[in-house]
Amino acid sequence: KKKEDLAKEWIEKLNIKPGYPDMEAQKLSGGNQQKIVVAKWLASEPSILIVDEPTNGIDVGAKSEIHDLLRKLSDQGMGIIMVSSELTEILSISDRVLVVRRGRINGRFDGTEACQTTIMNAAILKNEKAKGGPAS
C-alpha cells in the first residue's frame, strides 16, 4: 500500500503517463522512463542530484518537462549537477558551467558569460588560451 501510494504521488508530481495503472516501466515511452528514474532518486530526498545526459533520446515535450523539473528543484535549494553533451541544453538550464577537457576543468563560466563560443573555446583550446581559464 505504501509503495502504491508513493508511486501514485510521483506519477502525479512528474506528470508520468502510463497507458494503464499497472503498466511496467519498460513499456513506457523514453521520457516517462526518464521521469521514473528521477522519481526514484527524488523519493530518497537528496540534497544534491547528479544527472548524466538527462534528456538523451527523449522527445521535445518530455525534455522540456525534465528541464522544468530540474529548474524547480534548483529553485527549492537542491544542488543539481548536470552532465550533458548537448550545448543547447547546457545553455538553457545552467547557472554555472564547467568545461572539462582531457579530465581537467578547462573553463568556468556563470550563466551570464556562458555562450556557445566561450564553451567551445574552453572545450577545444588549451588552458592558457581558453576564456575563463582553469577553475581553481
pLDDT, tens digit, for every residue of 65-105? 889 989 999 999 999 999 999 999 999 889 999 999 889 99
pLDDT at 48: 96
Inter-helix orientation angle 60-75/30-42, to 10°: 20
How many residues make up the chain in this entry?
A: 136
Query: For residues 57 and 91, which has the higher predicted lDDT (pLDDT)?
Result: 91
User: What percent of the chain stands above pLDDT 90?
Assistant: 38
Give the whole-angstrom CA distance, residue 135 versus residue 99: 9
Query: For residues 50 and 11, which has the higher predicted lDDT (pLDDT)?
Result: 50
Residue 129 pLDDT exceeds 50: no
Q: Mind listing the domains of the chain with CATH numbers?
A: 2-94 (3.40.50.300), 95-136 (no CATH)
pLDDT at 58: 82
- Please state, rounded to an integer, the average pLDDT across all residues of the chain: 86
pLDDT at 79: 95
pLDDT at 136: 44
Which pTM was predicted? 0.76
Residue 47 pLDDT exceeds 90: yes
Residue 54 pLDDT exceeds 50: yes
Query: For residues 22 and 27, which has the higher predicted lDDT (pLDDT)?
Result: 27
